[in-house]
Amino acid sequence: MRTRKPASLRTAFAVAFAAGAAAVTVLVGFLSYDAAARLVRVDEKSVFSEVVGDLRTQVREKPLGPEDYASSDPDHDGPRDDLTRPTRTDVQILGSGGRIVELGSPALPAGAEEQRIARDAHAGRVAEREANVGDEVYHVATVALGGGRGAVQVAQKFSETEDLLSALQQRTALLAASVIALAGAGGWWLARRITGRLVRLTSVAESVAEHGRLDVPVPVAGRDEVARLGRAFDDMLGRLASAVQDQQRLVQDAGHELRTPLTSLRTNISLLKRFDELPPDAREELLADLAGEARELSDLVNELVDLAAGQRDDDPLSEVSLAEVAEKAAASARRRTGREIDVRTVRPAVVEGRSAALHRALTNLLENAAKFDAGGTEPIEVVVTGARFEVLDRGPGIAEADLTRVFDRFYRAAGARGLPGSGLGLAIVREIATAHGGHAFAARREGGGATLGFTVGTGQGSGTRAHPRNEPGDS
């Protein structure tokens, strides 16, 4: 079974242009021709009616005979000339009894009705009809001279008018066909210009789909909708390429980080074969190492899953009070770490975001502070200022060279490599802040320690809105 090739957009444009031009041209041509034909026919009939009216006026004003309308008048100032001067009128003279005294050019029919008019006693009596003379059609009017003296026949050739209108009709049709052809050609040319970039953009998309390469160049010239589409597609490819790179880096980093606990687990598991040979202290140490490695591996896997998911969980967007998030995160961290945590709010904001994700980010910061300030006696502080979270501790602080990298995935400062953790907690904080239109930050705290935090709703791309809300006790 042969598949039918779909029509191109270029062809569709050209056909649409031609069809539109055809509809408009045919409509305008028909209306123009109809109006012109009506005007011409009405004008011809009006002129002929005036000639007939002038003839009737002549024969009523004074008695005239057939000889008065003879064509042999040398001065050309007789009543016949008054009829033929303004228009192309054929004149034929009938004598008494209806006999033809002078033939017209061409000869007009003089039947019983015309003969009756010639014998009529009343001047100006008229009989009109259409007659075929040879191959032509004439409108013939016979006007009685009165007193039985005869009649004058005047005729106008209507077929001449119809020939003129027929020629006009042919020219109108030819013009319409030319306009349609030009419209089709113009539509094809214009569609080629419009769709040329779409065709190139389609080729790029097909190449990406076929080969999976995201580094192909995308045509983005111009400022119209096609150019906007090209820029959006180029930006999309860039984001996809970045996402693929992030995914590859995450897999590589995760593989590297997973090897350490797995290697330690394999070593300890091999020692389990000689568990009965080990002294009691070595047994307890082995079991503690196994439990610690299993716990660290479990935490690492959970954080990897959270990070790979991009923090886009099922928690819906809702109005979230940042002061409440701070209080709940502090309460959770107190239970886990046993440390004292103080919360201070200054004009806390209410934002549209995901409460669980914000709670997770702040909890990670608090647990990070407790880990690095394990022997501290001062409380860990949480400060909420508008849509900004800050967690302050009195730990060893952060080296100047590490301030810009502490939120990178799996990054461990030199002083933190002996501490438990995966190096993903702060990376998750940055991901959540970015997803909420904010950013994460780190600074050295005056007097010793560190200040880590993040903002909400200060960037773009998330739709997060932040507005302050005054609450009792705000300072």
3-state class of 122 per DSSP?
A: coil
**Residue 326 has what pLDDT?**
92
Name the amino acid, one letter, at 151: A
Length of the chain, please?
475
Whole-angstrom Cα distance, residue 112 to residue 355? Answer: 110
Whole-angstrom Cα distance, residue 461 to residue 436? Answer: 8
Peptide bond into 379 cis (omega under 30): no
Burial of 457 (0-12, 13-18, 19+ CB in 10 A): buried
pLDDT digit string, tens, across residues 17-65: 777 777 777 777 777 777 776 766 666 777 788 888 888 888 888 888 8
Tokens matching residue 114? 């015309």
243 contact partners, CB below 8 Å, separation of at least 6: none
Whole-angstrom Cα distance, residue 17 to residue 190? Answer: 10
pLDDT digit string, tens, across residues 126-137: 998 888 887 788
Does residue 437 or residue 470 have the better pLDDT?
437
The torsion angles phi and psi of 321, rounded to 5 degrees, stand at: -85, 120
Cα separation values, 190 from 56, 193, 200, 202, 452, Å: 64, 5, 16, 18, 58
Of the pLDDT bands very low, low, confident and very high (cuts 50, 70, 90), residue 311 is very low
Q: What angle do CA 285, 286, 292 make, to 5 degrees?
A: 85
DSSP 8-state symbol, 48: H
pLDDT digit string, tens, across residues 391-428: 998 888 888 877 877 888 766 554 544 444 456 778 88
Under 8 Å between Cβ of 204 and 212:
no
Widest Cα–Cα separation across the chain? 161
pLDDT digit string, tens, across residues 269-298: 887 778 777 788 887 887 887 787 777 677
Whole-angstrom Cα distance, residue 375 to residue 120? Answer: 142
Whole-angstrom Cα distance, residue 201 to residue 195? Answer: 9
Does residue 35 or residue 160 have the better pLDDT?
35
The pTM of this model reads: 0.44
3-state class of 391 per DSSP?
A: strand
**Residue 388 has what pLDDT?**
92
pLDDT digit string, tens, across residues 213-252: 666 666 666 676 777 777 777 777 777 777 777 777 667 6
Cα separation values, 226 from 199, 230, 345, Å: 11, 6, 49
